[in-house]
Every structure is written in structure tokens, then in C-alpha cells.
Amino acid sequence: MKIKVIDASGKVVLPGGVDIHAHIAGPKVNSGRLLRPEDHIIDPLTKTDVARSGTGRSVPSTYYTGYAYARLGYTFAMEPAMPPLEARHTHEELMDIPIIDKGAYTLLGSNWFVLERISEMNKDEMAAFVAWLLKASGGYSIKLVNPGGEETWAWGKNVHTLDDLVGSFKATPRKIIKTLAEVNERLSLPQTIHLHTNNLGIPGHHDVTMETMNAVKGIKPGKGRKTNMHLTHIQFSSYGGKGWNDFCSEAPEIAHYINKNDHVSCDVGQIIFTNTTTMTADGAWEWTLRGITEHLAWSPRSGSKWMNTQVELESSSGVVPYIFRRKNPVNAVQWAIGLEFLLMIKDLNKVNISTDHPNGGPFTFYPTIFSWLMSKEARERMISRTDKAAKEKTSLAELTREFSLAEIAQVSRVSAAKILGLKNKGHLGIGADADIAIYDFKSPLEELNKNYKAVEKGFGKAAYTIKDGELVLKDGEIVSSPFGRTFRVEANIPEDWTLQIRDAIEDRFRKHYTVSLANYAVQKEYFPNEELITTELR
């Protein structure tokens, strides 16, 4: 065996980064690419002997995505919104993302099968359906986006409280969330349900977030963890005020709940002041956002360009370019909220960094977030450059906490791996994958909180990135480009449960789907390298 020795003296060795929530593959990402040629032209990547060319920035091409993660020392990323009908497309793109390990969450929040049978179906059948759909789509966990709202959006409406009826169904968002959370724990899936709340992005609707957390409080978490819900990009769900004029932060209240209760974890969805592309399965919100852009100076007076889609029987989606501006009071408050969560949540196992790439900003800005966390000086400098709302309407300026390198490691890889239930990621102990990032800060480590530029630089360009024992990146340059694995989950259930719903699924496809059942499920060719996690019923 050939052994290569890397001299890491004076450098920082960490497990490879884990990104729990980044839109990197799938039809809506591809629509984003089509919508934004002006975004690609400013960040081209030329090919080298080992790496392919690509275009970047907010919606990068597949190869660029893999290389950019490696450059940050990240080796794992999850695509968080895969409509089962578009699973093929999503996996085709995931297959083309080099270096990193990856996976995708299956959208279930507005699936007709779930909506229609939620009041009458017994729990066994629901579990059987979820297990079947996860397998058919090659998904990793259950994703809910504005539960029920995707379906109502097909009729031009939205759900506004947890107890609104979803279209003509007897389902409500509360029922959907509770049922799927119970099913999730019953199937012992490695991750909890991954939830994008109702009324996301709208001022004054943090109460819906609070109610959502309360709704699942009693559900018993699965084996090996205390949580039963992951609130994703929680920054976008923590707005107070009655409108955009008195828009303010309610992060302290929600962070307080998370500190008091152990059943919720979250990622922040930090925003970055930059030109980016928003994309989500929450089509209704994207339409609202498009209307908002009519009033913003950077946008055409008729509003930003946009796309919106309805995925038959399953989901919807939308894409709108957006520029976060320092001098915009709302954007300034949004920026502060993300940092408030990271600094206020005491147990860092419950929180991790994301930008909801590319909604809050491209993931390539993670090092900037690290520098804000490690240095109060860096935060103060940014506060002084932003609109005064960041100071007046949030509590960020009062927070004095400064993260250590260990705490940065916690929020950028360790807690994400734990929340995802990955036993071989996020640590360098026995049984871990050899995914290693080595950073060189060129500054004494105890002075990093004073030298925040060094933090940004050091994390922005890893000295070495090792993936599965192979050196992939040296001094920020790709040296080899292997392909990582696709992580997916299969939940074992009694066979007769599946038989009970088989006729109903077949009937649904015959009557309503534009594809036949035989062509629906993703087959093994879509997972050339896979890591299959099987779970047993609790």
C-alpha cells in the first residue's frame, strides 16, 4: 500500500464539512440555471488536466458544485427538495457532481396520496406508502415544504394557518406534519422530518413556526436521538411585525423554545449581501416574492423575472433572482436573524450553518459566515455598514459570543452529520470515512477572533481536502476528481402492508399520472455508487 505523508503541522485538521440543505440538483435548479445566464458569465471555471470546466456563482453547474465544495473542505451535501416525479432528473444531476457524497430529500408535503387518505388511512398504510415512495424516488428523508400549500397553490391559493383546509381535501397542514412526523419515527428513518414552515418569509408569522414546533412536541423520537423535527432555514420563518415597515426579528423567542425543548433541530439559512437566485418548492412564496421585487430599486419596475411550476399531484416550485442589499432594512434584519440563531442556541448539536443555497446566498460564502461567528469585530463592522434596522430591530449587537474553531466545526459538520443520522461523517474517530479537510490560517489560532480576514481566507481555500482517503484538493487546486456516493434510505416494512396499498397506487397512476407506474421508480442504474441505509420498523 502506498502511503503519502502530509505535513499538517500548524494547520487545522477537521472532518469534511457536511451541508444539510443546499439546492444543488434537480429540475428547479436547472430552471434556475436557464433563467440566469448573466449569473454564469461572471464566474466561469476553465478546465484543467483533472477538472472539467463549468460556470458558477449562485446556480453553479454540476461539476463546479463538486469542486467548489471541495475547495471549502466540504465533502457532503444534501439536495433538499426532490419531487418524486422528478427524481430521475435529480439523480442524473447528483451522479454528475464529483467528489462529494450526496443525497436528496423526497417531497411529501402535498402528495395527493397523503392528502386524500390522511383522515381515513390507517397508520400502517401511510407508513407503507412513505417507505415505498422513499424507495421509488431514491430519497434520504421526508421533506415537507409549506405542507399543503404546494397543492393549494395549484389553485392560486395558499394555506395561512396550521388548520386551513388544503384544497378540497380533508387534510390540514397540522395533520400532514403530525402524521408524517409519526410515520417518520415509526419507520426509524435516520433523519427527522425536514420542514420548511407554512407562511415562510411573511412578516409576523413566527407564531406559525412556534405552533408547528408545539404540534409535534408529544411525538416520541426514534431510537438514538432526541429530536422529532428539523426546521430548515429557520431564519426565513422568524419574522415579527405586521408588515414590511415594522419588520423585526423574533429569533430570541424561537431560539428560547429550542433551548428549552430538545425535540427540534434547525439550520439557519443565513443570508449574504449578494446577488443570488431564490428557488424553492414553495411556489406561492416565490410568487409573493416576485411581487415584492416590483418595489425594489435593483429590479425592473415590473418586477424580477420569475418561473413557477406545478408538479402534478406532488409539488410546485418557483425561481426568482434576488439581490440582498446592505442598505435595505428588511435584508439587514434578515442577515442579523441568522446569526442570532447561531449565537443564541446554547446546544450547538441542534443548529448548523446553511445559506439555504442559493436562497440566502451561494454556499461559497460559508467562510464569511464563519468569520462573523468567530469575531465580534467582524459582526460589528458589518452592522456599521448595514441599515440601522440590523441594530434596532434585532438583538445581534448585544450578543458577545465568539465561536472557537471547535464550535465552528460543530455547526459546519458535526451537528449536521448527527441530525442526518450519519454514523460515518462529521468525526474522525473509529468507523469514520476518511473525509478530511486541512486548513491553513496563516495566523496564530488563538488570535483568529481578531484576525477575521484570515478565517475567511483559510476556510475559503482548504490546504488539503481528502475524500475517502484520496487527496482531491491541494492548496485550493483540484488534484483528482473521483465520484462520491449517493446516500439513500430503504425502510423495511411487513410485506402485507405494501400489498394493502398496491391497488390504490396502481389506480392513482392509471387515472391521474402522466407516467405509468412502471416508469416511475428510479432504478439501480441511477446509483452507480451508493450507500444504502436500511431501517427497521419500531
The angle subtended at Cα 492 by Cα 502 and Cα 86, nearest 5°, is 60
Among 20, 22, 25, 35, interactor with other proteins by CB under 8 A: 35
Reduced to 3 states (helix: H, G, I; strand: E, B; else coil), residue 473 is: strand
Q: Are 239 and 288 in contact, with CB atoms under 8 Å apart?
A: no
Contact segment (CB under 8 A) with other proteins among 234-242, 294-302, 307-315, 405-413 equals: 294-302
CA 283 to chain centre: 17
For CA atoms 359, 349, 379, 334, give the dihedral sign. positive
Contact segment (CB under 8 A) with other proteins among 34-42, 327-335, 342-350, 484-492 equals: 34-42
Contact segment (CB under 8 A) with other proteins among 57-65, 75-83, 293-301, 351-359 equals: 293-301
Contact segment (CB under 8 A) with other proteins among 13-21, 135-143, 292-300, 404-412 equals: 292-300
Among 21, 23, 36, 230, interactor with other proteins by CB under 8 A: 36
Q: Which is nearer to other proteins, 8 or 292 (CB)?
A: 292
Return contacts of 382-389, CB within 8 angstroms, 24+ apart. Answer: 382/335, 383/336, 385/326, 386/273, 386/326, 386/327, 386/331, 386/332, 386/335, 387/326, 387/327, 387/328, 387/329, 387/331, 387/332, 388/329, 388/332, 389/247, 389/329, 389/330, 389/332, 389/333
Q: Under the criterion CB under 8 A, does residue 143 sit at the interface with other proteins? A: no
Q: Which is nearer to other proteins, 275 or 465 (CB)?
A: 275
Q: Which is nearer to other proteins, 69 or 324 (CB)?
A: 324
Q: Please, what is the minimum distance in Å from the beta carbon of residue 53 to other proteins?
A: 12
Q: Are 311 and 26 in contact, with CB atoms under 8 Å apart?
A: no
Q: Please, what is the minimum distance in Å from the beta carbon of residue 305 to other proteins?
A: 7
Q: Under the criterion CB under 8 A, does residue 61 sit at the interface with other proteins? A: no
Q: Which is nearer to other proteins, 41 or 50 (CB)?
A: 41
Q: Which is nearer to other proteins, 305 or 457 (CB)?
A: 305
Among 7, 37, 245, 398, interactor with other proteins by CB under 8 A: 37
Q: Under the criterion CB under 8 A, does residue 299 sit at the interface with other proteins? A: yes
For CA atoms 343, 346, 347, 351, give the dihedral sign. negative
Q: Under the criterion CB under 8 A, does residue 431 sit at the interface with other proteins? A: no
The angle subtended at Cα 399 by Cα 395 and Cα 404, nearest 5°, is 145
The helix (H) or strand (E) run that includes residue 486 is strand 486-492
Q: Under the criterion CB under 8 A, does residue 511 sit at the interface with other proteins? A: no
Instruction: Name residue, grid cell 461567528.
Output: 373
Distance CA 448, CA 350 (A): 25
Among 41, 428, 499, 515, interactor with other proteins by CB under 8 A: 41
Distance CA 476, CA 229 (A): 36
Q: Please, what is the minimum distance in Å from the beta carbon of residue 320 to other proteins?
A: 12
Q: Under the criterion CB under 8 A, does residue 392 sit at the interface with other proteins? A: no
Q: Please, what is the minimum distance in Å from the beta carbon of residue 65 to other proteins?
A: 20
Q: Please, what is the minimum distance in Å from the beta carbon of residue 59 to other proteins?
A: 11
Q: Under the criterion CB under 8 A, does residue 30 sit at the interface with other proteins? A: no
Instruction: Outline where 96-163 has alpha helix (H).
Output: 112-117, 123-137, 149-153
Respond yes or no on whether the N-terminal peptide bond of residue 358 is cis (omega within 30° of 0): yes
Q: Under the criterion CB under 8 A, does residue 536 sit at the interface with other proteins? A: no
Q: Please, what is the minimum distance in Å from the beta carbon of residue 326 to other proteins?
A: 18
Q: Of 111, 106, 113, which Cα lies nearest the Cα of 148?
A: 111
Among 270, 304, 317, 535, interactor with other proteins by CB under 8 A: 304
Q: Under the criterion CB under 8 A, does residue 46 sit at the interface with other proteins? A: no
Distance CA 48, CA 479 (A): 9
Q: Please, what is the minimum distance in Å from the beta carbon of residue 371 to other proteins?
A: 30
The helix (H) or strand (E) run that includes residue 18 is strand 17-19
Q: Please, what is the minimum distance in Å from the beta carbon of residue 302 to other proteins?
A: 5
Q: Under the criterion CB under 8 A, does residue 290 sit at the interface with other proteins? A: no
Distance CA 19, CA 6 (A): 26
Q: Of 95, 66, 74, 94, which Cα lies nearest the Cα of 20?
A: 74
Q: Are 189 and 130 in contact, with CB atoms under 8 Å apart?
A: no
Among 15, 20, 22, 39, interactor with other proteins by CB under 8 A: 39
Count CB neighbours of 291 within 10 A: 12
Q: Please, what is the minimum distance in Å from the beta carbon of residue 49 to other proteins?
A: 15
Instruction: Name residue, grid cell 407554512.
Output: 198
Distance CA 347, CA 262 (A): 9
- Total residues at the site for other proteins (CB under 8 A)? 13
Q: Under the criterion CB under 8 A, does residue 280 sit at the interface with other proteins? A: no
Q: Which is nearer to other proteins, 299 or 410 (CB)?
A: 299
b or e along 102-111 (b: 16 or more beta carbons within 10 Å of the residue's beta carbon)?
Answer: bbbbbbbbbb
Q: Under the criterion CB under 8 A, does residue 38 sit at the interface with other proteins? A: yes
Q: Which is nearer to other proteins, 277 or 486 (CB)?
A: 277
Q: Under the criterion CB under 8 A, does residue 507 sit at the interface with other proteins? A: no
Q: Which is nearer to other proteins, 38 or 536 (CB)?
A: 38
Q: Which is nearer to other proteins, 45 or 369 (CB)?
A: 45
Q: Which residues are at the interface with other proteins (CB under 8 A)? A: 35-39, 41, 298-302, 304-305
